[in-house]
Amino acid sequence: MNRRVVITGMGVRAPGGNGVKEFWDLLSEGRTATRRISFFDPSPYRSQVAAEADFNPEHEGLTARDVRRMDRASQFAVVCAREAVDDSGLDVGALDPHRVGVSLGSAVAAATSLEREYLVLSDSGRHWLVDDAWLSPHMVDYLIPSVMPAEVAWTVGAEGPVAMVSNGCTSGLDSVGHGRQLIAEGSADVVLAGASDTPITPIVVACFDAIKATTPRNDDPEHASRPFDSSRNGFVLAEGAALFVLEEREHALARGAHVYAEITGYATRCNAYHMTGLKPDGREMAEAIRVALDESRIDPTAVGYVNAHGSGTKQTTGTRRRRSSTASATTPTARPSARSSRWSGTPSAPSGPSRSPRRRSRSSTA
């Protein structure tokens, strides 16, 4: 079985863009959402800028209990899921719940809440032995990443396959690829797929500082993220979430749904080489692109747009342009290419340098 899969709904919460339209306006107008970190005092850190989302859970319809129970990343995911379902026009109550699934990606999951609760337990690190009387009853929800897609499943009434995908910064794309596969193989008719990450917290900022992956261009936040520029010196950390409603094509057409795009190909490769680095010849990336194009039955010369995973670091951005060219047997300037996080920063899951055990390459076509 190899059923066709389309996108019928979208939901986004991102820096500078609460909703699909706001986010698209930010991108198309070339505005930036990067600023000095305001969630905590960033002065001890090398990189002090980030792209923070102006997210108000109460205005998004979340209750006080929702906010207390869910980590910020889960809140983003639930709100995006609601928006995507509304956008799709699906009546989830009329669907067979066993045919609805969730595939959610996240790189650092509930790191924000875990760090916050540890500071409470340890009295800001003063005590090695902690008093569990101060333990939040929701600590286990923060500890187990699979709670995030479970929250989305509870929101939309999904009782089919529900999975958490965590492959560093390719988690978002991998979750969409996984969701597509569930529908293509017949395991589901509808899948909520995407990613959510809220990594702007001291421990995450410190981790990226340690490997010098984030930019120290603190005096010019608006121009700190500059992938493909000769003066690039690291990426800008960001938070955000985006979810799609993936649907079996005939199922969508039968109900007269608006189809944004069809996902025609997806491929994944691992170089088994380095945590963040690519092999000098970058063949694993070129192979992922080639396989995705083959699966789509698309000639490389027909590709009209490339959205690259340009991290803004010296090595990876340049390598990605070369491998895209190698896979398509054309020059890098033969088609438009871009990186959306140039304006909105780098959410951990959807894009940015991978933090998985070995460098992984992803490619998809739509």
CATH T-level assignment (fold) for domain 6-110+145-264: Peroxisomal Thiolase; Chain A, domain 1 (3.40.47)
Closest CA to 97 of 192, 224, 167: 192
Q: Where do the domains of the chain lie?
A: 6-110+145-264
Residue corresponding to tokens 């997806």 = 266
The answer, yes or no, to whether residue 363 has pLDDT greater than 70, is no
Q: Which residues lie closer than 8 Å to 179 by C-beta, 6 or more apart?
A: 101, 103, 188, 191, 192, 193, 244, 246
Q: What is the pLDDT of residue 79?
A: 98
> What would the DSSP string read from start to end of 19-84?
SHHHHHHHHHTT---EEE--SS--TTSS--EEE-----TTTTT--HHHHHHS-HHHHHHHHHHHHH
Report DSSP state, residue 101: E
Q: Round to whole Å and give the CA distance between 312 and 214.
A: 9
Q: pLDDT tens digit string along 298-316?
A: 999 999 988 887 778 776 6
Q: Which of 71, 107, 144 is nearest to 350 (CA)?
A: 107
Q: CA 44, CA 21: separation in Å to the nearest integer? A: 36
Q: How far apart are CA 137 and CA 140, in angstroms?
A: 7
pLDDT tops 80 at residue 81: yes
> Hey, which of 4-8, 286-290, 292-296 has the most confident mean pLDDT?
4-8
Burial 214-231 (b: 16+ CB within 10 A, else e): bbebbeebeebbbbbeee
In this predicted structure, which of 229-233, 274-278, 281-285 has the lowest mean pLDDT?
Answer: 274-278
pLDDT band at 229; cut points 50, 70, 90: confident
Q: pTM score, two decimals?
A: 0.88
